[in-house]
Structure 1
């Protein structure tokens, strides 16, 4: 998540504000306390980055 934000010259805070996410939700996800995020959470994150879900999952990490 940090990498995607950095690629777009954004901070995580900027992404969650643009996507309408809760800071606590992203904090738990990034710290590994939440291991299975809802699709709606990922969609909002993608919205904050202005990318599609397909773009988000189009990574070697998901192969």
Structure 2
């Protein structure tokens, strides 16, 4: 799995776990709707680490916690 795919999958997983829509994540993270849409649609091949950090914080976790998943091991 490519890193961009893993990031998208991880975001979707966290949204599902919390029962959130992408709009809830947008509100909590402060990341623009267009940016979240690009990531979720797989059009953002290299999302910035600063953006992923904001997304992680929107989920109430650190960047390390976001990436602490088996899909990021390889």
Match of 2:64 among 54, 58, 61: 54
Q: CA RMSD in A?
A: 1.0
2:5 aligned with 1:5: no
| Unmatched 5+ stretches in structure 1 | none
> How many Å apart are 1:16 and its aligned residue?
1.5
Normalization by structure 2: what TM-score?
A: 0.77
**What are the residue-to-residue correspondences of 1:1-63 with 2, within 5 Å?**
1-63=11-73
Q: Aligned residue pairs: how many?
A: 63
Q: CA contact under 8 A between 1:2 and 1:11: conserved in structure 2?
A: no
Normalization by structure 1: what TM-score?
A: 0.89
SS across alignment from 1:51: coil
SS across alignment from 1:36: coil
